[in-house]
Amino acid sequence: MFKWIKDKFSKDNEKENSEDLIEENLEEISDENIDLENDHMEKISDEEKEKTVIQDFDTQLEKETTSDEEIEENSYGSKKDEIIEEEKPSLFKRLKSGLLKTRKEMGVKINTILGAYVKIDDDLLEDLEDILISADIGMNTTMKIIDNLRDTIINEKINDPSLIKDLLKAETKKIMITEKSSNLNISEKSVILVVGVNGVGKTTSIGKLCAKFRNEGKSVLIAAGDTFRAAAIEQLKEWGNRANVDVIAQSEGSDPAAVIFDAIKAAKSRNIDVLICDTAGRLHNKSNLMKELEKISKIIDREYPEATRETLLVLDATTGQNAMNQAKTFKEATDISGIILTKLDGTAKGGVVIALQSELDIPIKLIGVGEGIDDLQKFDVDSFVEAIFE
């Protein structure tokens, strides 16, 4: 009996000890797990912290980007207006900028001369004459302006040099006024024939004209009448693609008159508003090429009599008085209705505009004062004179 009790007690102790051992082991395992978990959590915490910083940076960057985009796209406040105003200055500001070289040659020099005199005399008038001639206004036009200025000074008994500049501007405007309109003669159906020597900017001017008319909501078609110059047709097609305008063309070396004939038929069938006809650059002293121009002009008159007609002569302002000689010869060959004067921004010889307008009685209708698509501007006498004399 005693042995059974002893054995029982011994077994109970072993069981108890075993349970205690198991419990201790469980506690140790639990503690180890907790330590591992804590270590793991610390690692996770560090990783999460780094991840959170990156996420916060990305979020902030996204917010800033979104904020910038919102300001750019959705804000119509002063910032946006200021940006637009800086990128798109007024027509007059762009004109002034484009005529900077001519203004330095005329306006700035005139201011310097007038500041050196205390009274008006012949020496002052001679100095003014030299400045006008140096700006390529030409001898005839310069003498006309100075003679009229002298008469005004005598008649109105003016002796203050500070008044000369306004008088000079007024006399210049007077001789530039023409009865012929400086507006393009465009109606529901119009044809513009573009002529000029090589290298004056005919193709570029045609491209800018296309953009101008397309912006006005007009349908436009181009006739690639320059079949002689290499790559002329490809250049026109490139401008046509930019302005979303079709080009009627034949192979290189084809008869230009045939191209114009096909283009007129296409313009009629498609109900086109404006047909712009390019022509080969031709020297004004080559009689055979000038006769070809007459032939093209007759085809337009015969095949499209209902269309209003413009024949625009493109001249390069950088050639100065040579542009005057070109204009005189072209005027003899065909009826020039207006002039496009290009590259005014690249020359100090902008005074040739005054000579062209006053001596030839051909209105200048458009002037190029930069390379931008909007830099082919409508010519206005008042704005031009103010810009070069300022």
- Confirm whether residue 197 is marked as ligand binding: yes
Cα 106 from chain centre: 26
Average pLDDT for residues 234-241, to the nearest whole number? 92
| Domains of the chain, earliest start first | 190-336 (3.40.50.300)
- Confirm whether residue 198 is marked as ligand binding: yes
Least confident window among 71-85, 189-203, 208-222:
71-85
pLDDT in tens, 15-48: 444 444 444 444 444 444 444 444 444 444 444 4
Backbone φ/ψ region at 380: left (φ over 0), alpha (ψ -120 to 50), beta? beta
Average pLDDT for residues 226-254, to the nearest whole number? 91
- Confirm whether residue 274 is marked as ligand binding: no
- Confirm whether residue 104 is marked as ligand binding: no
- For residue 287, the one-letter residue type is S
Q: At what angle do helices 352-359 and 164-176 cross, to 10 degrees?
A: 50
- Inform me whether the pLDDT recorded for 361 exceeds 90: no
Q: Which residues on adjacent β-strands are paired with residue 308?
A: 190
Say how many Å lie between the first and final Cα of the chain, rounded: 135
pLDDT in tens, 287-300: 777 788 889 999 99
Here the tokens at position 226 are 């320059």
Per-residue model confidence (pLDDT) at position 229: 83
Average pLDDT for residues 132-153, to the nearest whole number? 95
pLDDT in tens, 252-274: 889 999 999 999 999 999 999 99
CA nearest to 223, candidates 186, 250, 260: 260
Integer Cα distance of 215 and 347 in angstroms: 29
Integer Cα distance of 95 and 89 in angstroms: 10
pLDDT in tens, 171-186: 999 999 887 888 999 9
- How does residue 198 score in pLDDT terms, banded at 50, 70 and 90? confident
Here the tokens at position 67 are 């904020």
Least confident window among 94-103, 242-251, 349-358:
94-103
Number of C-beta neighbours around residue 288 at 10 A: 7
- Confirm whether residue 193 is marked as ligand binding: no
- Confirm whether residue 368 is marked as ligand binding: no
Least confident window among 30-39, 268-277, 305-314, 357-366:
30-39
Q: Tokens 């108890």 belong to which residue?
A: 16
Least confident window among 81-95, 101-115, 342-356:
81-95
3-class DSSP state for residue 377?
strand
- Inform me whether the pLDDT recorded for 222 exceeds 80: yes
- Inform me whether the pLDDT recorded for 65 exceeds 90: no
- Confirm whether residue 279 is marked as ligand binding: yes
- How does residue 334 score in pLDDT terms, banded at 50, 70 and 90? confident
283 and 310 Cβ atoms separated by less than 8 Å:
no
Q: How many helices (H) and strands (E) does the chain have?
A: 15, 8
Q: Is the four-CA dihedral 165, 166, 171, 173 of positive or negative sign? A: positive
- Confirm whether residue 278 is marked as ligand binding: yes
Q: Report pTM.
A: 0.74
- How does residue 57 score in pLDDT terms, banded at 50, 70 and 90? very low
CA nearest to 335, candidates 354, 315, 359, 362: 362
- Confirm whether residue 148 is marked as ligand binding: no
Average pLDDT for residues 228-242, to the nearest whole number? 89
Mean pLDDT, all residues of the chain: 80
- Confirm whether residue 258 is marked as ligand binding: no
- Confirm whether residue 203 is marked as ligand binding: yes
- Inform me whether the pLDDT recorded for 60 exceeds 50: no
Integer Cα distance of 351 and 79 in angstroms: 39
- Confirm whether residue 151 is marked as ligand binding: no
- Confirm whether residue 39 is marked as ligand binding: no
